[in-house]
Amino acid sequence: MSENIDVRVRFCETDALGHVNNTSYFIYLEEARVQFFEYLGKRSGTDDWPFILVSTKCDFIKQVYFKQELRIETSVKKIGSKSFTLLHLIKDSKSNDIVAEGEATVVYFDFTKQTSEIIPDELRIRLEESHQLLT
């Protein structure tokens, strides 16, 4: 299972060269992660939030411009005992061409104890559902 969100590039997300600024991609990826967490049944907020982002990256494949319509497809690339890695494909909505590819590694985390924890079985099952599409 993958989760998708749609984005329309806003003027403020572009730079002096007229294309989307590299920092804007990370905002798109964050929104995709939040939506994916909601798919997992975890609402964002400060009460009992179980995730901490430990790594994120984005490879820029094609330039993207103001008003361009994008689709971000998010799925699970890898599942560990205490963490998982999400794969984000950013595509042009019209051509379906990949314009950027991102990854984010997320740790299941107890903020009260300040320690990572084993991913609970019910969450692991949801993650595995999304991971199976890639294998």
Q: Is pLDDT of 14 > 50?
A: yes
pLDDT tens digits, residue range 30-40?
Answer: 999 999 998 88
Domain ranges of the chain: 3-132
- Interatomic CA distance for residues 128 and 75, integer angstroms: 10
Q: Is pLDDT of 43 > 60?
A: yes
pLDDT tens digits, residue range 57-110?
Answer: 999 999 999 999 999 999 999 999 999 999 999 999 999 999 999 999 999 999
Are 52 and 105 within 8 A, CB to CB? no
Q: Give me the residues paired with residue 65 across strands.
A: 19
Assign 113 a pLDDT band (cuts: 50, 70, 90): very high
Are 81 and 118 within 8 A, CB to CB? yes
Per DSSP, 12 falls in state G
CATH architecture of the region 3-132: Roll (3.10)
Mean pLDDT of 8-21: 95
Cα dihedral: 32, 2, 14, 52 (round 10): 30
